[in-house]
Amino acid sequence: MRQPSVISRRVAASTAVLVLAAGVAACGPEDSKGAAGTSGADGKPQKGGTLTVLNSNPQQDFDPARLYTSGGGNVPSLVFRTLTTRNREDGAEGAKVVPDLATDLGTPSKDATVWTYTLKDGLKYEDGTAITSADIKYGIERS
């Protein structure tokens, strides 16, 4: 049996951390107003709390390679990063594609069979490990 790759272990570890963090946040203390997860008195966001998302169907999977329907895209987009994403604006502006991990929207080859992206500087996983082009390649190849 093949040993899991470093990336597979990172995905598994990230998922475990996410589940643990969600559980801890759900059991966390309430603020002085009695509502968990609200911003502080100065209006700045605070860590912790509970994010409640209304979704028409239960989330079946949090593996980005298994999310192949647009209906599942809303919740994972709050958790995962991609080379590009949709603009988070109302109306027609929200339909525009914008860079996320990439510096721009990519450059196609002359026959548009290969796209080249440049990653933003300083990208890191939650444990501080640098995100590399090999990580992105792995994610694309397994999807």
Domains present along the chain, CATH in parentheses: 6-30+48-142 (3.40.190.10)
Quick: pLDDT tens for 16-40: 545 555 554 555 454 444 444 455 5
Cβ–Cβ under 8 Å, residues 18 and 79: yes
Is 84 in a helix, a strand, or coil?
strand
**E strands in 25-113:** 84-86, 97-99, 107-108
Tokens at 116, concatenated:
């080249």
Quick: pLDDT tens for 37-71: 455 567 787 888 887 877 777 777 777 777 765 55
% the chain with pLDDT above 90: 32
Average pLDDT over all residues of the chain: 76
pTM check: above 0.85: no
